[in-house]
Structure 1
């Protein structure tokens, strides 16, 4: 009773043709025509697997297999199928299509689960279009923020307008859809997006938890002047201050962080952005993550001190906007135990590792126990057309997902 490798491979390859860029890349931005085309195709595959499928008012694709006992909380599987603008073909899709393959395999073997199972392709996990991701899952669990539908993409299209063009009328009053107690467990398979499994020469990993990210936007303001005439000791150069903060932040994370700590400055905007004008304003992002909340908090406080001291020394004003702040969320021990038992039967010898990136599972964890399975990806590359996972590894991971789902589907206590 293993999954159908050729069917899963065919689905992965066919979905990769929608929004294809280059030989191996994918661009399926949230709520775009490519996203809708992909959702319609995957909806058909859900129905072939025996699921009743619908697209909800937030753009989530939800498939449902009724269980024998409707009194039992449901089992939920899933991931996402939207992509980064310069993305790969496995991020999200391996888990979403793998979940559908789990149901297809149950159907092939005539299995009627005791509890109802839902498979979800969450809407806009990536967040690259509206600069605020995991939209669909946050809608389902009641974690949307004020003004979500008014956020605009680079073309000035609001999320509300994009969803309408996508084909749904969104009513935020319908959130949340699920409450605590509705879901027994949420399971998500995902490519690792990191190099740990490859370094251990293991195809599959069992996730222990997801690091909590802090996303900040820091703005420094000085005074613009002619690059050729203002003496160095009289300048209020916002770029110099930003450079010092970024360098000190990097050094702090490397010297004081743990193995689980990562810090990144991924975006910098300069005004007026001219070769011969002293920069007056610099805005940059900070991403700080750690599975250890106490340690992350200490580093966060030190970062604020760095920003304040550096700004003062360079005679700059500053502001800090908190864009995201999520606590680390740990996978349920009982789910990890089931995974470990099934992993041993499959002779995978999968290591336990944490997730640095956050996933839809992070937000499901606020209303449900959750578990995650990672699949090795080549050189840890992701969010890039070079992203690649071997079909052998995906098959092993989805088989572990299948065996785990079967155990939980039959669980009555």
Structure 2
């Protein structure tokens, strides 16, 4: 059961209503999922927006709330050594390896209400549907509500799933949040023992796969007018910090030939990054930039900016990054500016496993009675990137409304799509069981 130190009253928040209009009366299951999404969206650190970060009071509150729902569905409930909420229902005999289902409950700042939470609640509803049949399944069913997919608080994206996969980095314990609280201190306050983090790790023989339903966070399914899609791979990503160093000087007293302007150089580099990524079929984003000394009448001597680079494959990401470095080097040499590039995050691409992916395709076909749309590679990162280190992974995408906007309060999903996603996820589990028996 849920340890006493993890029981808190949910925090209320004044959020805009979610977009779950289906054009007809929802089923009891669909209405329950919509109500629960609204309840979770109210558990926020802010009264005006949704923000729920790792190892916070709000994290503890949703673990307590969702843990109660797990128990009501017949799952044995526990919180692991990383703060992940876990539940299990046995298969045809006790102790079988499990098909792991789930997603995450943490959010980015000013978040939408479906990213992560929808996947947890769809998996819970599917398990509830299958509870009476679980004793005939050739594997157990487990559900995990992961704790730190976004990495908002400490910059440690996927730390909950890394702990589950046995790849948690002990160096993370010393990282402070914006208030100076370290990861270690936050874990202790949450009721966790950092020395026992290894107990969260699962062994490969304990699992038969990981299946996650998730809002697409993009417009492809919306553009195709399809409620559901199957994911081919979770793309490769790197994040870097690039620092250009020129020479500061008087804005009026320094003639053009003597200028070594770091900001103008950065501007040319950023445009080159966009051009190279577009040409390669990759995605590149410069999300932050800082200029020093920062005076209105001073030539910038230093420009530091972030680079988020994503591609369908690890090889394409690496090749695109090399082209970006070559272009940066050429521009800096021409403008007599030096540069330094420091990688801050890396995740290699993960290809979804054929058997699980086929089960998802079968589930979509059975639920929609329509052709399954072409597979989509996920431009966003997901917990499957980490969990793929110990077991096969696959993903079911649910159409993202409102032009595919995500990580934003306007994130939306149709109520009708939630219901068909539940049908598809349930059918996918059954299809995987059918294939598992015959393999």
CA contact (8 A) 1:212 1:289 kept: yes
Bigger shift: residues 273-282 or 237-246: 273-282
1:4-403 paired onto structure 2 within 5 Å:
4-19=29-44, 25-70=49-94, 72-107=96-131, 109=132, 111-112=134-135, 113-171=137-195, 174=198, 177-254=201-278, 256-258=279-281, 261-346=282-367, 347-351=369-373, 352-378=375-401, 379-403=403-427
Bigger shift: residues 271-280 or 128-137: 271-280
CA contact (8 A) 2:229 2:364 kept: no
Bigger shift: residues 395-404 or 288-297: 288-297
Task: Please give the alpha-carbon distance, in whole angstroms, between the structure 2 residues aligned to 1:349 and 1:274.
Answer: 59
SS at match of 1:147: helix
Deviation at 1:89, TM superposition (A): 0.3
Deviation at 1:209, TM superposition (A): 0.8
Task: Please give the alpha-carbon distance, in whole angstroms, between the structure 2 residues aligned to 1:176 and 1:320.
Answer: 34
CA contact (8 A) 1:57 1:171 kept: no
CA contact (8 A) 2:247 2:299 kept: yes
Q: CA RMSD in A?
A: 2.0
- Provide the aligned length of Structure 1 versus Structure 2: 407
Deviation at 1:180, TM superposition (A): 2.5
Task: Please give the alpha-carbon distance, in whole angstroms, between the structure 1 residues aligned to 2:57 and 2:210.
Answer: 29
Match of 2:3 in 1: none
Q: Taking structure 1 as reference, are residues 177 and 81 closer, same or farther at Cα in structure 2, changes over 3 Å only?
A: same
Bigger shift: residues 378-387 or 157-166: 157-166
| 1:355-412 deviation line (CA, Å, top 9, x unaligned) | 1101001211121111100011111101111111111112211221111123335634
Deviation at 1:143, TM superposition (A): 2.0
Q: Taking structure 1 as reference, are residues 341 and 3 closer, same or farther at Cα in structure 2, changes over 3 Å only?
A: farther
Bigger shift: residues 267-276 or 196-205: 267-276
Task: Please give the alpha-carbon distance, in whole angstroms, between the structure 2 residues aligned to 1:88 and 1:264.
Answer: 21
Task: Please give the alpha-carbon distance, in whole angstroms, between the structure 2 residues aligned to 1:60 and 1:173.
Answer: 11
Deviation at 1:196, TM superposition (A): 0.3
SS at match of 1:350: coil
Task: Please give the alpha-carbon distance, in whole angstroms, between the structure 2 residues aligned to 1:188 and 1:111.
Answer: 19
Task: Please give the alpha-carbon distance, in whole angstroms, between the structure 1 residues aligned to 2:54 and 2:293.
Answer: 32
- Provide structure 1 residue ranges, at least 5 long, that are not aligned to the other structure: none
| 1:190-235 deviation line (CA, Å, top 9, x unaligned) | 0000000000001111111111112111111222222232223212
Match of 2:6 in 1: none
- Provide structure 2 residue ranges, at least 5 long, that are not aligned to the other structure: 1-26
SS at match of 1:4: helix
Task: Please give the alpha-carbon distance, in whole angstroms, between the structure 2 residues aligned to 1:218 and 1:377.
Answer: 33
Task: Please give the alpha-carbon distance, in whole angstroms, between the structure 1 residues aligned to 2:196 and 2:326.
Answer: 39
| 1:118-147 deviation line (CA, Å, top 9, x unaligned) | 100111100121122111001111222241
Task: Please give the alpha-carbon distance, in whole angstroms, between the structure 1 residues aligned to 2:326 and 2:286.
Answer: 17
TM-score (norm 2): 0.88
CA contact (8 A) 1:3 1:101 kept: no
CA contact (8 A) 2:81 2:200 kept: no
CA contact (8 A) 1:263 1:286 kept: yes
CA contact (8 A) 1:75 1:409 kept: no
Deviation at 1:20, TM superposition (A): 7.4
SS at match of 2:276: helix
Task: Please give the alpha-carbon distance, in whole angstroms, between the structure 2 residues aligned to 1:3 and 1:248.
Answer: 52
CA contact (8 A) 2:360 2:395 kept: no
Deviation at 1:176, TM superposition (A): 6.4
CA contact (8 A) 2:90 2:134 kept: no
CA contact (8 A) 1:70 1:115 kept: no
Bigger shift: residues 36-45 or 265-274: 265-274
Q: Taking structure 1 as reference, are residues 20 and 397 closer, same or farther at Cα in structure 2, changes over 3 Å only?
A: farther
TM-score (norm 1): 0.93
Bigger shift: residues 69-78 or 388-397: 69-78
Counterpart selection for 2:430 from 400, 406, 411: 406
